[in-house]
Amino acid sequence: MNRIEFIRELDKRFQGLNDTEVNKVISFYSELIDDRIEEGMSEQEAVESLGDIDSIVKDTMEQMPLSTLIQQKVENKVKSKALRNILIICGFPLWFPLLIAFSAIIFALYIVLWAVIVSFFASVISFAAAGVFSIIFGIAFCFLKGLSIGFAIIGAGLVLSGLFLITFQPMILLSKKAVVFTGFIIKKIKGLFIVKKEDVE
């Protein structure tokens, strides 16, 4: 691919996005090509050294906010601005509830994930609390009701404390995984909106 073809391809993939943004990206890669040519590379070699277009497009788009990507997808489907505006206004009763539903589902899934984490945390903490209290009350029972009962309760307290120690570490690990997973899901959602080669005629 030569330089002009490369730039034209980038332009196609970034179609619909903010013009200033697109110009910045294109001039960045243009500059890289020029610098390499200056160093002695041929135009073909310079373009090839940039890597494949899909990676460039993907890495650049991933940094953009989700709203920009969705906007671009919409604008690519309907080219005429006037028609687009009419469709948006007339279709409002249709797409707006769908948007709400979609956002609500994502939000709900997110809440569910974190609710699970929080409830696990609650169990873990309650093991600790129950353990501590049982030991304290157990000691008190030793004096009030008798050693056997007291010891039994202290024993229960130790078991609970043990459970706390066992589940604490996995709990922390699980929360960290949940954070990473959330980021992963957001990336995947953005991926849905990134223009691929098949989308561009």
Partner 1 sequence: MDIQLKRGLIEICVLKVLTLSDSYGYQIIKDVSKCVTISESTLYPILKRLESNGLLTVYSVEHNGRLRKYYKITQSGRKRIEDFLSEWQEVMDVYNFIKESNINE
Which lies closer to partner 1 via its Cβ, residue 34 or residue 45? 34
User: Using an 8 Å Cβ cutoff, are 133 and 159 in contact?
Assistant: no
Stretch that binds partner 1, among 51-59, 110-118, 129-137, 167-175 (CB under 8 A): 51-59
d(CA 116, CA 60): 34
Find all residues with CB under 8 Å of 190, minimum gap 6, and list them.
61, 62, 66, 69
d(CA 56, CA 50): 8
Give me the torsion for CA of 107, 112, 118, 121, rounded to 10°: -150
Which of 50, 130, 132, 171 binds partner 1 (CB under 8 A)? It is 50
x/- site string to partner 1, residues 53 to 72, per CB under 8 A?
--xx-xxx-xx---------
In the complex, what is the shortest distance from the CB of residue 13 to partner 1, in angstroms, rounded to a whole number?
13
In the complex, what is the shortest distance from the CB of residue 148 to partner 1, in angstroms, rounded to a whole number?
47
Which lies closer to partner 1 via its Cβ, residue 142 or residue 175? 175
- In the complex, the residues that contact partner 1 under the rule CB under 8 A are 24-25, 27-29, 31-32, 34-36, 38, 49-51, 55-56, 58-60, 62-63
